[in-house]
C-alpha cells in the first residue's frame, strides 16, 4: 500500500478527506499495523486530527418541527450540496418548500430516525430545535388522547347542550375547552376533581401559556355547566371564580381608512361583502348566512335571522349599498346564499373572506392588524359620533345589554377632539 507523504504541522486539504467516509480511519489503522510500535503515539494523534478535519468538512443539517400548509412537518435545512440533495431525495414523501426554502417530510414518530439513517453518513444532524418543539408538543394536553370515560362524558355533555338548543359555535367552543381541561387531569377520576384542581389549571396552563381572560372565562363556563351533569362531584360550583374582565377598547378605523379599504377592491362581490359588513355593522357569520330573500329592497331593510343568541333583528340598508347589491346580483346570480363560493349553492368560506380583507388592507397601505370585526366596531363608533341614540345602536348591533353598547362612547373622539389641552396655553 502506498502511503502519501505527510509533512508535520502542514495544513491538510479537507477536500482530500471529505468523500473518504470510513476510509480515513481504516487507512490509518492499517498504517499503525504496518509500522513499528514506537510510532503508534504520533500516528494516533495524526489520525485524530484527520478525523476531526473530516467531521468539520461535513455539512450540518438542522431539523425543525414546523407547521406548513396547516400540517406538522419536519423541516430539513442545510446549505446547497448536490450530494446531500441526492441522499435526501431517497426519503419517502420528501418535498421542497419554496416559501420555507427547505426540504420537509410529514411529521411522524420515527421521522427523525429515518432522516438520520439516510444522511448521517454524509452530514452532522442537529436536532436541538426539533427536540425542544416536540417536547412542548408532547407536554400540551391538546395533543393527548382522551380516555373512554372522558370521551363518553363529553358526548353526553354535547347531547345535553344540543337538547337545550345551544348554538353550534357555543357547543364547539365548550366541548373543545372541556376536552383540554379533562386531558390535563386525565389520570384523575372525574368525581375527584376539586376547586383546587381548577385553580391549578388556571395557573399552570392558562396563565403560563398567556391565554386570554376570555378563554379562561370559557373554561369556567363550560366546567361549571359540565359538572352540573356529573354526579358525586367534589367541585363546589358556587365557589368557582371568574377572571376579572379586561377593559379593552374596541379597535376603530376612521371613515377615511374605511373608504381606502373599500375602494382598494376591484372585485364587485368582494367590495359588496365588505361594504355590507361596515354599512350594516354585521358580524362575519351574519354576513355569510344572508340569503337573497333577506334583502327587502322596497323598504331598504335587511333581516338578520338567528344571529348571536338565536335572535332575529332588522337593520337599515344604505341606498348606495342597495345599488351595489343590484349590480352584484345581475353579475353573479346567487342561487341559495347571497354570497356563494366557487361552488354554486355553497356559502362563501370564512377564510376566503378574511383573505379578501387582508388583501384590501395591503392595497390600501394601512399598517394595522385589521380584522373583519373592526368594520363592525367602526360602524357603531361612527353612529355614536353622528349623534345616534345608544338605544337604537344597541338594537342595530343586536346587543342584549346596553353596557356592551356603551363601550363605543369611550372610543368616540368627536367630543375629545374639541377639548383644548392646557399645554396649549403655556
Q: What is the pLDDT of residue 254?
A: 92
Any catalytic annotation for residue 241?
no
Q: For residue 198, what is the enclosing H or E element?
A: helix 195-201
Name residue 367's beta-bridge partners. Answer: none
Q: Which of 68, 158, 283, 284 is catalytic?
A: 283
Q: What is the pLDDT of residue 204?
A: 84
Q: What is the pLDDT of residue 290?
A: 94
Comparing C-alpha atoms, which of 57, 59, 50 is closest to residue 119?
59
pLDDT digit string (tens) for the chain, length 426 residues: 333 444 344 444 444 444 444 444 444 444 444 544 445 455 555 555 545 444 445 778 888 888 888 888 889 988 888 888 888 888 888 889 888 888 998 888 788 888 888 888 878 888 888 877 777 766 665 556 677 778 888 888 899 989 988 888 889 989 988 888 888 888 788 878 888 888 888 888 888 888 888 888 888 888 888 888 766 576 676 777 676 766 778 889 999 999 999 999 999 999 999 999 999 999 999 999 999 999 999 999 999 988 787 788 999 999 999 999 999 999 999 989 999 988 888 999 999 999 999 999 999 999 999 999 999 999 999 999 888 888 999 999 988 888 888 888 877 776 667 777 777 777
Q: Which of 308, 313, 358, 359 is catalytic?
A: 308
Largest CA-CA distance found in the chain, in angstroms, rounded: 108
Q: What is the pLDDT of residue 21?
A: 43
Q: Which of 172, 373, 400, 410 is catalytic?
A: 373
The answer to whether the CB of 364 falls within 8 A of the CB of 264 is yes
Q: Is 376 helix (H, G, I), strand (E, B) or coil?
A: helix
Q: What is the pLDDT of residue 311?
A: 83
Residue 189: φ, ψ to 5°: -60, 145
Any catalytic annotation for residue 308?
yes
Any catalytic annotation for residue 68?
no
Strands (E), 34-133: 59-68, 71-77, 95-97, 102-106, 123-126
The answer to whether the CB of 389 falls within 8 A of the CB of 402 is no
Per-residue cell: 420: 383644548
Any catalytic annotation for residue 151?
no
Q: What is the pLDDT of residue 55?
A: 46
255-409, CATH topology level: hpI Integrase; Chain A (1.10.443)
Name residue 95's beta-bridge partners. Answer: 104
Cα pseudo-dihedral 132, 137, 139, 142, rounded to 10: 170
Any catalytic annotation for residue 200?
no
Q: Which of 376, 377, 379, 382 is catalytic?
A: 376
Q: Is 107 helix (H, G, I), strand (E, B) or coil?
A: coil
Comparing C-alpha atoms, which of 391, 385, 387 is closest to residue 403?
391
Handedness of CA 196, 199, 205, 208 (dihedral sign): negative
Q: What is the pLDDT of residue 354?
A: 93
Comparing C-alpha atoms, which of 98, 90, 80 is closest to residue 120?
90
Q: What is the pLDDT of residue 41?
A: 52
Any catalytic annotation for residue 373?
yes
Q: What is the pLDDT of residue 137?
A: 65
Domain 143-239, CATH class in plain words: mainly alpha
Amino acid at each position: 500500500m502506498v502511503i502519501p507523504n505527510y509533512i508535520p504541522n502542514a495544513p491538510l486539504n479537507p477536500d482530500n478527506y471529505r468523500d473518504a467516509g470510513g476510509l480515513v480511519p481504516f487507512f490509518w489503522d492499517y498504517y499503525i499495523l504496518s509500522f513499528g510500535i514506537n510510532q503508534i503515539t504520533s500516528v494516533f494523534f495524526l489520525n485524530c486530527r484527520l478525523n476531526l478535519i473530516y467531521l468539520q468538512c461535513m455539512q450540518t443539517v438542522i431539523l425543525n418541527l414546523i407547521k406548513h400548509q396547516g400540517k406538522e412537518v419536519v423541516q430539513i435545512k442545510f446549505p446547497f450540496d448536490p450530494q446531500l440533495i441526492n441522499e435526501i431525495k431517497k426519503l419517502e414523501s420528501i418535498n421542497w418548500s419554496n416559501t420555507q426554502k427547505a426540504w420537509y417530510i410529514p411529521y411522524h414518530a420515527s421521522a427523525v430516525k429515518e432522516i438520520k439513517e439516510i444522511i448521517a453518513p454524509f452530514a452532522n444532524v442537529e436536532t436541538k430545535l426539533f427536540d425542544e418543539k416536540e417536547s412542548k408538543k408532547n407536554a400540551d394536553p391538546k395533543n393527548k388522547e382522551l380516555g373512554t370515560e372522558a370521551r363518553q362524558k363529553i358526548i353526553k355533555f354535547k347531547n345535553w347542550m344540543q337538547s337545550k338548543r345551544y348554538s353550534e359555535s357555543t357547543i364547539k367552543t365548550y366541548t373543545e375547552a372541556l376536552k383540554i381541561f379533562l386531558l390535563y387531569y386525565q389520570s384523575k377520576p372525574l368525581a375527584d376533581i376539586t376547586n383546587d384542581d381548577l385553580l391549578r389549571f388556571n395557573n399552570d396552563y392558562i396563565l403560563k401559556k398567556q391565554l386570554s381572560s376570555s378563554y379562561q372565562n370559557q373554561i369556567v363556563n363550560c366546567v361549571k355547566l359540565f359538572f352540573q351533569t356529573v354526579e358525586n362531584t367534589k367541585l363546589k360550583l358556587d365557589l368557582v371564580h371568574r377572571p376579572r374582565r379586561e377593559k379593552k377598547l374596541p379597535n376603530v378605523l376612521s371613515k377615511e381608512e374605511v373608504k381606502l379599504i373599500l375602494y382598494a377592491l376591484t372585485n364587485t362581490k368582494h367590495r359588496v361583502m365588505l361594504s355590507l359588513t361596515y354599512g350594516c355593522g354585521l358580524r362575519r357569520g351574519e354576513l355569510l348566512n344572508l340569503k337573497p330573500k333577506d334583502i327587502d329592497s322596497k323598504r331598504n331593510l335587511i333581516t338578520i335571522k338567528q344571529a348571536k343568541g338565536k335572535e332575529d333583528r332588522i337593520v337599515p340598508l344604505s341606498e348606495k349599498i342597495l345599488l351595489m347589491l343590484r349590480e352584484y346580483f345581475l353579475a353573479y346570480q346567487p342561487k341559495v346564499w347571497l354570497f356563494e363560493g366557487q361552488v354554486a349553492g355553497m356559502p362563501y368560506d370564512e377564510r376566503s373572506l378574511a383573505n379578501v380583507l387582508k388583501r384590501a388592507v395591503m392595497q390600501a397601505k394601512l399598517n394595522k392588524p385589521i380584522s373583519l370585526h373592526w368594520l363592525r366596531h367602526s360602524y357603531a363608533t361612527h353612529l355614536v359620533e353622528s349623534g345616534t341614540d345608544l338605544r337604537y345602536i344597541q338594537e342595530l348591533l343586536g346587543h342584549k345589554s346596553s353596557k356592551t353598547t356603551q363601550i363605543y362612547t369611550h372610543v368616540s373622539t368627536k367630543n375629545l377632539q374639541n377639548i383644548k389641552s392646557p399645554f396649549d396655553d403655556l
